[in-house]
Amino acid sequence: MVCLAFKVHPATARCADAVMLGGLHDAYNATLRGTHDVRQRAAMALLVFVGGQNGKSLSRQLARDHILAPQDQLETILSQAQVLAHDVLNNNLVTIDTYLHGRNVNWLASLYLSSGCQNSSSTTSQSVRAASYENAKQQAQYETKSNLLQDKTSQIAMVGISILLFALTVGIYRFTQSFAMRRRMVERLPRFPIALSLDLTFTDRDGNMQQASGKIVDISQGGVKLSWPDPPPAKTLVTVKLLATQRLGQVSWSNNHFAGVMFETRLTRPELKSLMETHPPT
C-alpha cells in the first residue's frame, strides 16, 4: 500500500525539481486517463522518464527542493508506471489496475501541490500568456503588410515542426528500444521462482547455430534468469521453446554459470500465471 510519508518545506523550495515531479504526474495521469492517442504519446514519454530514473536518484533530486519522499516508495511507483506504459502501448487495457495507478497519481499530485511550487508555475503561465498576447499583436500588424508572405512562412514553419516532432518521436522510440533501456525495464519487473528446463538455440560468434539447455531460476513477464553453464555473451540472440511456442529473446547478461534472457515479446499475465502454477519451485 502506498502511504503519504513525506515532508515539505514550501517556504524554501526552489521548485526546479518539483516541476519535474509535476511532469511525471501529468505523464502518468495522461497515460491512465487520456484518450487513445493521448495515452499512447504519454505512455512513450512515461517510459523515457522511468528509464532514466530510479527511486534513489529521484528522492535525492526532490530533496534539493526540500521535498522528502521515501526512495523505496518512489521506486515502486516508477516500476508500476512502467508496467502501465507497456500495457497501454501493447493495448493490454483489460489488465490495467485502475485503482492502483489512480492511487499513485493522486499521491504524486498531493506531493507536488504540497510543495507550494504550483504558485510559481501559475506566475510563469501568466507571463507566457502576456508574451503570447504581445506576439499576437505584432503578428497581426505584420499580416496587414504581407498576408502572402505570412502564409508561406507559416506553412514552412508547420512543415519544420512536423519534421521535428517526427524526429523526436523516432528518437524516443529508438531510445526506449535500446538494449540498455530494455534491460533496465526488464530488471524492474517482479520476478517469481519456478522450476522449468529450457532448450535454447543461438548463433555463436563464428555464425554457427548452437543448442543448449538451461534451467529457469526465476521468471518475469520480460524474461528469465537461467542456470546455464558457459552461456554466450550479452546481446546474443536466442530462441527458447516456452508454452509450446518458439519465443525470440536476447541475452542481457551472462557469467560462467548463469545468464539473463530478455523476451522480444513479453509474456502476458495469464501466460506467466500458467507457468508459475504448472512449474512451481522445488
Is residue 216 predicted with pLDDT exceeding 90?
yes
- Sign of the C-alpha dihedral, residues 44, 47, 48, 49? positive
Side chain identity at residue 174, one-letter code:
R
**What's the pLDDT score for residue 5?**
44
**What's the pLDDT score for residue 95?**
75
The pLDDT confidence band at residue 226, using thresholds 50, 70 and 90, is very high
Is residue 219 predicted with pLDDT exceeding 90?
yes
Of 236, 220, 225, which Cα lies nearest the Cα of 268? 220
pTM check: above 0.75: no
Q: Return the residue matching grid coordinates 510543495.
A: 115
* β-strand partners of 245: 242
Of 251, 188, 264, which Cα lies nearest the Cα of 225? 251
How many Å apart are CA 110 and CA 77, to the nearest integer? 14
Is residue 12 predicted with pLDDT exceeding 50?
no
Spatial CB neighbours of 29, under 8 Å, sequence gap ≥ 6: 105, 109
Strand-strand pairing, 192-203 and 237-242: antiparallel
How many Å apart are CA 118 and CA 148, to the nearest integer? 42
Q: What is the pLDDT of residues 66-109, one digit of tens each?
A: 788 888 899 899 988 988 988 888 888 877 888 899 899 988 88
| pLDDT greater at residue 176 or residue 55 | 55
Count other C-beta atoms under 10 Å from residue 169's C-beta: 12
**What's the pLDDT score for residue 184?**
79
Nine cell digits for residue 236:
546474443
| pLDDT greater at residue 199 or residue 145 | 199
Q: Does domain 185-278 have CATH number 2.40.10.220?
A: yes
- Residues of the chain above pLDDT 70, percent: 72
Average pLDDT value for residue range 41-69: 82
How many Å apart are CA 11 and CA 115, to the nearest integer? 9
Identify whether the C-beta of residue 53 lies closer than 8 Å to the C-beta of residue 62. no
Count other C-beta atoms under 10 Å from residue 6's C-beta: 18
Domain boundaries along the sequence of the chain: 7-119, 146-177, 185-278
Is residue 257 predicted with pLDDT exceeding 80?
yes
How many Å apart are CA 87 and CA 172, to the nearest integer? 18
Mutual angle of helices 118-145 and 147-177, in 10-degree steps: 140
SS3 263: strand
Spatial CB neighbours of 118, under 8 Å, sequence gap ≥ 6: 22, 112
Mutual angle of helices 55-63 and 71-89, in 10-degree steps: 120
